[in-house]
Amino acid sequence: FAPSGKPDFSLDYGRPRGDMCAPHSESYGDFYCQGGELHLVHHRQGSSFAGIYDNMPAEAPRKDFMLQASMHSVGEAGSYGIVFGMPGPDDQYNFLVEPRGNFQFLLETAGQFTILLPWKPSPAIHKGENTNLLQVIARGTRLTLLANGQTLASLDNTVYSVGLGGVGAKAMDGGHAALHSLDVWVLP
């Protein structure tokens, strides 16, 4: 699925952003920009993930949307992916991939994870340090997960009414991920 037109919301690390590109460290991870990408390095000690999250502007899509991120792993450890919030600040979906070619879909509520789709291999996921284009399409109550243009899974969203509160990216389980861009389109 290829969206048409300019994204309604975009984070592009090919264009430097002073607020996120200044190197900094937190107890859970390190963040820095290099080569037009934001690097997220997860520290395993007592933390669930290293990630970024931007709240959507008030005029952002709240119902039918497509979220797309261009990311890759640096090394073979951990997992990485995209997150999107619906509707509260402590509630978000996590679409994760591993460098070994597996994917998983989780619901995170107040720091607790519920597995909606367990780890599953897919030939659509590029292995190792190769870039993956991860997409989530929300239409009504239906969520569809894609990697590199191929559908991985489709499921009904029975927990929340579909709406988009924020978007982000993360590295987990000791992973190091690089995010090139993250875009959101409103769907007709």
Cβ proximity of 165 and 41 under 8 Å: no
Q: How many CA atoms lie less than 13 Å away from 104 in the CB half-sphere?
A: 17
Q: Which two tokens stand for residue 65?
A: 């949307």
- Please report, as a single letter, which amino acid is at residue 93: Y
Digits of tens for pLDDT over the chain (188 positions)?
666 788 877 776 666 555 556 666 676 678 778 888 888 888 764 445 555 555 555 555 457 888 899 999 999 988 999 888 765 556 788 899 999 999 999 888 877 888 999 999 999 999 999 999 999 998 888 899 999 999 999 998 766 554 565 677 777 778 888 888 888 888 87
Measured CA angle at 126 (ends 162, 138), to 5 deg: 10
**Which residue matches tokens 């559908």?**
151
What backbone torsions phi and psi does residue 141 show, to the nearest 5 degrees?
Answer: -100, 5
Tell me the CA end-to-end span of the chain in Å, nearest whole number: 14
Residue 96 is predicted with a pLDDT of 93
Residue 46 is predicted with a pLDDT of 44
Cβ proximity of 176 and 126 under 8 Å: no
Q: How many CB atoms lie within 10 A of CB 129?
A: 13
Q: How far apart are CA 166 and CA 36, in angstroms?
A: 22
Residue 61 is predicted with a pLDDT of 46
Residue 102 is predicted with a pLDDT of 97
Residue 47 is predicted with a pLDDT of 46
Residue 52 is predicted with a pLDDT of 59
Q: Which two tokens stand for residue 145?
A: 């997960």
- The whole model's pTM is what? 0.85
